[in-house]
Chain A
Amino acid sequence: MATLKEVQSKITSVKKTKQITKAMNMVATSRLRGAQTAMEAFRPYAEKFSEVLGNIADKAGDDASPLLTPREEVNKVNIVLMTSDRGLCGGFNFNLIEAAEKLMKEKLSQGIDVSFTNFGKKGRDWCRNNKVQITREYLGVVGGKFGFNVASTSGQELIDGFLDGSFDEVYVILANFQGMAAQPPVVKQLLPIPIIETADAEIDDDTSYIAEHIIEPSPDELLNEMLPKNIFIQIYNGLLETSTSEHAARMKAMDNATKACNDMIENLTLAYNKARQAAITMELMDIIGGAEALKG
């Protein structure tokens, strides 16, 4: 049986842990709100862009851009892995890294070289521990405040790498924010750009005017300008989703931790009361025993 003092100090320490997890939960909640606002702010741009891109892709020739052409022989693959910088967010990073590992093993088994571009410290650390080649790392982006320029700089580097033959394919792994409870990892092919869906999902008289658009400079040239931006948009979107997911995952993890702390405090208090009661009973027995002895 633990002594009173031991139990008491344990309770104090669990209470302190609870304060921390509760505070982290609140921080994650407010950051989540910020991240969601950024996601919402991005949506109008992304929607309009993909609408226009779909229309242009329809009009341009199939071989309009080298970014669209798959390589005949794939020898080198780059994987853009998005994780958080910090831990304490449950299985969030683990899931992302697991997806990365699966993709990497699949590529390696086909005799393809794999290198990584890392957003986030956790993925970077994993790459380092496993001696995987890292082409570029960006820390302090996911989960924080970042602008579109992060996506365009990193995207431009990937495009340059693809064009000069450093990589034949580029994939991105991100956390898809589906809501508070689910942020599954998703693997997307970034380069060569998979076939662009044309925006004929909503066929009404609204789309028919597109056919009459005057396009400057020309559909092919415009497409060539838009495709790199499409990559940036995908990266930016991935960063936004991963950040939002990180905060959601941390909120959930910290909520669970706080609940676990409450359970522990309850159990420990029970143990404390029991120990105290036992001590009182013992003392009473002593007193009664003493009194009986005096009576003689």
Chain B
Amino acid sequence: MAELLKLEVVTPEQYVISEDVEIVMAPGTLGEFGVLSGHTPFLTSLKPGRINYKDSTGKEKIIFVSGGFSEALPDRVTVLAESAERRRDIDLDRARAALERAQKRLAQEKSDNISFERAKIAMYRAIERIKIAETRGL
């Protein structure tokens, strides 16, 4: 069995998870990256997206992160996100409403506007949440 590393996902409001895992895949700004035990020290910002990991029993799990930072060390990965949810905790209705709102805003704003950019990010977050939530029970 592969050596384990500790995955911690922290938001300002709560500790989302803290457990021993085999592998972590996370959405870095410059591309997705994977971390196994013994990884070289690494610090990156994250895009909104999903963190995939395999827990100590080899079960695959998914967490949504809204962007933030991740620090990988040989024995642990820490993710600091503004919000993060386990797949089963995602509020699908809320995500759908957020998607609708973001789309409306995108239709109104001009594309060089800063709130256009924000709406785009909000839309991306909502889509990602919905995508993850829809894999529930598969």
Which A residues contact B (CB, under 8 angstroms)?
Answer: 38, 41-42, 44-46, 48-49, 52, 55-56, 147-148, 151-152, 160, 209-210, 212-217, 221-222, 225-226, 229, 232-233, 236
Main SS class of interface, A: helix
Does A217 lie within 8 Å of B15, measured CB to CB? no
- Bound Cα distance from A152 to B11, whole angstroms: 13
Residues of A within 8 A of B40 (CB): 212, 214
Instruction: Count residues on chain B whose CB falls below 8 Å from chain A CBs.
Output: 23
Does A41 lie within 8 Å of B73, measured CB to CB? no
Contact pick for A152, options B71, B78, B82, B114, CB 8 Å: B82
Does A217 lie within 8 Å of B30, measured CB to CB? yes
Contact pick for A213, options B10, B15, B41, B80, CB 8 Å: B41
| 15 A-B pairs with C-beta separation under 8 A | A41-B12, A45-B10, A45-B12, A45-B80, A48-B80, A148-B82, A160-B114, A210-B41, A212-B40, A214-B43, A216-B42, A221-B45, A225-B45, A232-B82, A233-B12
Smallest CB separation, A213 vs chain B (Å): 4
CB of B69 closer than 8 Å to a CB of A: yes
Candidate in B28, B30, B80, B114 with the most chain A CB atoms within 10 angstroms: B80
Residue of A nearest to B82 (CB): A148
A41-B13, A48-B80 known; A216+B45 contact, CB < 8 A: yes
Does B15 lie within 8 Å of A44, measured CB to CB? yes
Does B71 lie within 8 Å of A214, measured CB to CB? no
- Bound Cα distance from A229 to B29, whole angstroms: 16
